[in-house]
Amino acid sequence: MDALRVRSLSGEGDEETSGSFVDLFRGCAPYIRAHLGAIMVIHMGGEVVEDPNFTSIMDDLGLLRLLGARLVIVTGARPQMSTLLQQAGIKEEFRDDLRVTSKEALKVIKAAAGFVRIEVESALSRGARGGAAGDFHVAGGNFFSAQPVGVRDGVDYGCTGEVRKVEADRIRAQLNEGGVVHLTCIGYSGSGEVFNVNSVDLAAKCAASVGASKLIYIADGYLEDATTGEIINSMRLSEARSLLSRYEKKKSNNGEAVAAGSGAGAMAAVDVEKDSPPAEVEMAGGVAADKEAAVGGGSAGDVHGVEQRLMRLTEKAVMALTQGVSRAHVVPPTSGALLQELYTRDGAGLLISRDMILVPRTPEQLEADINEFFVITRDETVLGVAFFKRYGQDHAEVGCLAIHRDYRKRGWGEAMLSYLERVALASSVKHLFVLSTVTMQWFVERGFRESQVSDLPPERRESYNWERMSKIYHKTLGGGVRAVDAEELLWDVRGMI
Ligand SMILES: CC(C)(COP(=O)(O)OP(=O)(O)OC[C@H]1O[C@@H](n2cnc3c(N)ncnc32)[C@H](O)[C@@H]1OP(=O)(O)O)[C@@H](O)C(=O)NCCC(=O)NCCS
């Protein structure tokens, strides 16, 4: 090397650096921050272990941990149990989707659960020791205690158990030390008896006990809007409850879970009150719209099974959300789906999130345009207020947004705004606008952009007060309810319920 030449790289390679990778990576940054230190309980059934995508799913879990999430993995082993029981010539017995476990069957079930444990822990260790996921330990053992289900409706469930207590402090201690906790469906009683516990239920109870921010089920199947054919990618708790009660009603009407047709196109319809007001929520404007949902996915001819499984997961998700878990997800067992679900706005699966408690005043209590006002109340105290007024097909104004002085900086303002964004989406409004003289920055930080009087709908332009000279901010609502959910996460809504 006789001579060195120095040259500037600026201006070179711009095309590569501004490519989709950089945009994508930058887009993930807010989600990485949001999930840093978050406890996530992730359930996978035994079928995931048999799936060709298993290795990549485990690698994704390792990456999640590397990105700062604290993971508890809960595994089931139903298909492995079925195979081993069949090989041993032992007949399987289920009642209402719960396995009846004889002493003889328990021996085989322990082997199936052990097999899944080894597969999962070895895959995690591969990531931990040599792979990209970094160095961490996997902790398993007696992190929960079990008790017998006993005799129900005359059926003796034998060695089938249920969760008695989750050792939340011990689990958190492991997570704080950088470990990943792994629970299987095998639980022990205080006197050393062994029980076969339903892992879907265990995951939900564990998430609630450890104060997880997420409960994630990795499972096949999805819900579709039966009218539009669109996949439903987010639901509120109230909508999930409504879905479940319709499913139960349908089941009891039919005498069994609904099965329809076969093949990939087969759907078992379940009504969902999409975007309807939850039990605790009454909306002054009333934007409830009945929609029908259908269940899809799974193997051909298995609509009944897919539907039953999705409803079971939804039921447990509802239980966990009711007990304080912020969000529940059902993510397909495909490579990268977990990462897409957690680090992108549109996700890859179904998100179920909690409701807010918004209650309207009665018409007697408010003035003539009561239907445009929304209030947040706790007991008899009004904590916040805002109006939502439509202009034509596409526009709506949010105004008078105010939170009680003693309750500010707790996320209530953001909660009210995101609620109104949902109201807007449910009524097909595309553009929200606000007029403000002092709170401009607050709206800008929540996705609004300054606009002009000429951008207002004609009717509102006419009533614009030129003396007051309020500034105008617009927000275009794209991406549907899921986008509102995603933004809410980034706003870090604290202790809303
Ligand atoms: C603006 C308002 C509704 C926000 O309600 P809130 O429940 O406190 O809001 P959130 O908890 O969701 O957000 C609080 C954050 O907004 C910030 N914020 C509050 N007022 C702000 C303003 N005028 N400009 C910029 N940021 C503001 C707070 O400092 C806080 O930030 P931090 O979390 O970094 O500390 C509330 O402050 C209020 O009622 N203000 C008086 C009425 C008003 O100006 N309404 C707007 C009419 S269009």
Instruction: Pick the atom of ligand 1 nearest to 414's CA.
Output: 12
Instruction: Pick the atom of ligand 1 nearest to 405's CA.
Output: 39
Q: Which residues contact 193 (CB under 8 A, 6 or more apart)?
A: 148, 159
Tell me, what's the pLDDT at 297? 58
Tell me, what's the pLDDT at 8? 64
Instruction: Pick the atom of ligand 1 nearest to 412's CA.
Output: 7
Q: Report which protein residue has its CA nearest ligand 1's atom 48.
A: 436
Whether the CB-CB separation of 317 and 219 falls below 8 Å is answered with no
Whether the CB-CB separation of 214 and 326 falls below 8 Å is answered with yes
Tell me, what's the pLDDT at 258? 38
User: Could you tell me the distance, in angstroms and rounded to a whole number, from the CA of residue 31 to the centre of ligand 1?
Assistant: 23
CA-wise closest residue to 296 among 249, 263, 247: 263
Please provide the DSSP assignment of 388-430 as one string: EEEETTTEEEEEEEEE-GGGTTSSHHHHHHHHHHHHHHHTT--
- Per-residue buried b or exposed e for 101-117, using 16+ beta carbons within 10 Å of the residue's own CB: bbeebbebbbebbebbb
Q: Report which protein residue has its CA nearest ligand 1's atom 44.
A: 439
For the domain made up of 26-212, give the CATH fold.
Answer: Carbamate kinase (3.40.1160)
Q: Report which protein residue has its CA nearest ligand 1's atom 19.
A: 442
Residue 313's alpha-carbon distances to 44, 220, 403, in angstroms, are 11, 11, 36
Q: Report which protein residue has its CA nearest ligand 1's atom 26.
A: 442
Q: Which helix (H) or strand (E) holds 115?
A: helix 103-129
Backbone φ and ψ for 292, nearest 5 degrees, come out as: -110, 140
User: Could you tell me the distance, in angstroms and rounded to a whole number, from the CA of residue 385 to the centre of ligand 1?
Assistant: 13
User: Could you tell me the distance, in angstroms and rounded to a whole number, from the CA of residue 413 to the centre of ligand 1?
Assistant: 7
Query: How many CB atoms are closer than 10 A to CB 99?
Result: 23
Q: Report which protein residue has its CA nearest ligand 1's atom 39.
A: 402
User: Could you tell me the distance, in angstroms and rounded to a whole number, from the CA of residue 13 to the centre of ligand 1?
Assistant: 43
Tell me, what's the pLDDT at 326? 86
User: Could you tell me the distance, in angstroms and rounded to a whole number, from the CA of residue 35 to the centre of ligand 1?
Assistant: 24
Tell me, what's the pLDDT at 213? 92
Residues of the chain within CATH 3.40.1160.10 domain(s) are 26-212
Tell me, what's the pLDDT at 30? 81
User: Could you tell me the distance, in angstroms and rounded to a whole number, from the CA of residue 288 to the centre of ligand 1?
Assistant: 29
Q: How far apart are CA 109 and CA 105, in angstroms?
A: 6
Pocket lined around ligand 1, Cβ cut-off 6 Å: 401-403, 408-414, 434, 436, 438-439, 441-442
Residues of the chain within CATH 3.40.630.30 domain(s) are 370-491
One-letter amino acid at 138 equals V
One-letter amino acid at 266 equals A
Whether the CB-CB separation of 178 and 136 falls below 8 Å is answered with yes
Q: Which residues contact 19 (CB under 8 A, 6 or more apart)?
A: none
One-letter amino acid at 219 equals A
Backbone φ and ψ for 378, nearest 5 degrees, come out as: -130, 125
Instruction: Pick the atom of ligand 1 nearest to 399's CA.
Output: 48
The CATH number that domain 370-491 falls under is 3.40.630.30
Q: Report which protein residue has its CA nearest ligand 1's atom 30.
A: 409
Helix or strand or coil: residue 315? helix
Q: How far apart are CA 193 and CA 164, in angstroms?
A: 13
In tens digits, what is the pLDDT along the chain, a chain of 497 residues? 566 777 665 555 555 555 688 888 888 888 888 899 999 999 999 999 999 999 999 999 999 999 999 999 999 999 999 999 999 999 999 988 899 999 999 999 999 999 999 999 999 887 655 565 667 899 998 999 999 999 998 899 999 999 999 999 999 999 999 999 999 999 999 999 999 999 999 999 999 999 999 999 999 888 887 777 788 888 888 889 988 998 888 878 775 443 322 223 223 334 343 333 332 322 222 222 334 556 565 544 455 678 888 999 999 999 999 888 989 999 999 999 999 999 987 889 999 987 654 444 455 655 666 678 888 877 667 788 898 999 998 999 998 899 988 888 888 898 889 889 988 888 889 999 999 877 888 999 898 999 999 999 999 998 888 877 788 999 998 777 777 776 665 554 433 33
Instruction: Pick the atom of ligand 1 nearest to 438's CA.
Output: 23
- Give the DSSP letter of residue 453: G
Tell me, what's the pLDDT at 407? 84
